[in-house]
Amino acid sequence: MYREDYEGVHDSESDQIRDVYAYYGLAMYMAQNLERGLAMLLALERQKEGMTAWDFDARLAENYQSTFGDLVSRFLKSPLAASSGLSAHLQRANEQRNDLAHQYFWDRGIQFVSPEGRLAMIAELRQMKTEFERLDDDLQAFQEADLKARGEDIHGFRSRVNASLHGYLSGSAIPHSPELLPNKVTVVAAEEWCSTPDRPGNLVLISREGRFLVPGGWGLCYGPPTIPNGSVARPLAFDRAFPAELNPRPKTSSSWNYGIPLANGYVLRAQTLPGLEIGQFRVWIQPPQPNT
């Protein structure tokens, strides 16, 4: 049906009408792909500051819930706008996408009732589809170049994004807000959440109210409301470190380099270390030091 050499001269009226609808659907599909690609790029752009995988997933889920216009506005205000050279193309794509979604057939009612008008609509929709597709490819190339520059695994990133997307669209995953805790909190236990038995998992603290908390770039953040699908929670044996009332925001710290005192000389540590890949960090509970 999607013939790139479409002429339509010998098609019946019903076939021609069908093809207008088909090319309209294809153009909208490519516009949605472009929207998804921009959502991924914007979530990745903030990853340069260092964040947990859950933080990234939450920002990606937030972007998926934003309109294309909102995403384009955020892109134009970000450092990506100047370095990518794609600002004007995205602004045009937003206008075209809005035209398709809100008034395309209404504005072309007269064209739609004539063979010549329908041919013009098909040509226009094919051109939109091509522009959306080309811009999506440009965004992907820009994103992959950025990942390579930071030494990150492109295939691993794609797999993570696809898994997150499937979870949010199927309803099996619930996005969380990775915001810093605003006030003091009492922590009563710690767990390690692992998705792969032979690899280290994620350190998760549990508050007195039963909420999951995770270390973030500048202190403790809200974690996922439930254990993610595919992960197993393992209690950690730091009984003497808890319960502990703590300030979730260290007063003197830099990003991913801080310590939060727990009970009996234990300290929650977050630190970037030599030898780690760009954007990576380590978090752990440090046992009491001698003479502590």
- pLDDT tens, residue order, the chain (292 aa): 344 444 544 458 899 999 999 999 999 999 999 998 998 888 877 555 555 666 677 677 778 778 999 999 989 988 888 888 899 999 999 999 999 999 999 999 999 999 999 999 999 999 999 999 999 999 999 988 887 877 777 777 777 677 766 766 666 666 656 677 888 999 999 999 887 777 777 889 999 999 999 888 788 888 888 887 778 898 998 889 999 999 888 876 677 788 999 999 999 998 876 665 545 578 889 999 886 4
Give the pLDDT score at 40: 85
Give the pLDDT score at 4: 47
For residue 267, the cross-strand partners are: 261, 286
Span 15-55, pLDDT tens digits: 999 999 999 999 999 999 999 899 888 887 755 555 566 66
Q: What is the mean pLDDT of the chain?
A: 83
Three-state secondary structure string covering the chain: CCCCCCCCCCCCHHHHHHHHHHHHHHHHHHHHHHHHHHHHHHHHHHHHHCCCHHHHHHHHHHHHCCCHHHHHHHHHHCCHHHHHCCHHHHHHHHHHHHHHHHCHHHHCHHHHCCHHHHHHHHHHHHHHHHHHHHHHHHHHHHHHHHHHHCCCCHHHHHHHHHHHHHHHHHCCCCCCCCCECCCCEEEEEEEEEECCCCCCCEEEEEECCCCEEEEECCEEEECCCCCCCCCEEEECCCHHHCCEEECCCCCCCECCEEEEECCCCCEEEEECCCCCCCCCCEEEEECCCCCC
- CA separation for the pair 30, 56 (Å, rounded): 24
CA torsion sign, 261 to 265 to 271 to 276?
negative
The alpha carbon of residue 177 and the mean position of all alpha carbons in its chain are separated, in whole angstroms, by: 13
Question: Residue for token digits 């190339």?
Answer: 141
Give the pLDDT score at 274: 65
| Tokens representing residue 26 in the block | 């294809």
Span 28-39, pLDDT tens digits: 999 999 998 998
The pTM assigned to this predicted structure is 0.63
Neighbours of 284 (CB within 10 A): 14
CA angle 253, 259, 264 (to 5 degrees): 150
Give the pLDDT score at 3: 45
Q: Which of 40, 51, 62, 44 is nearest to 177 (CA)?
A: 62
Give the pLDDT score at 10: 46
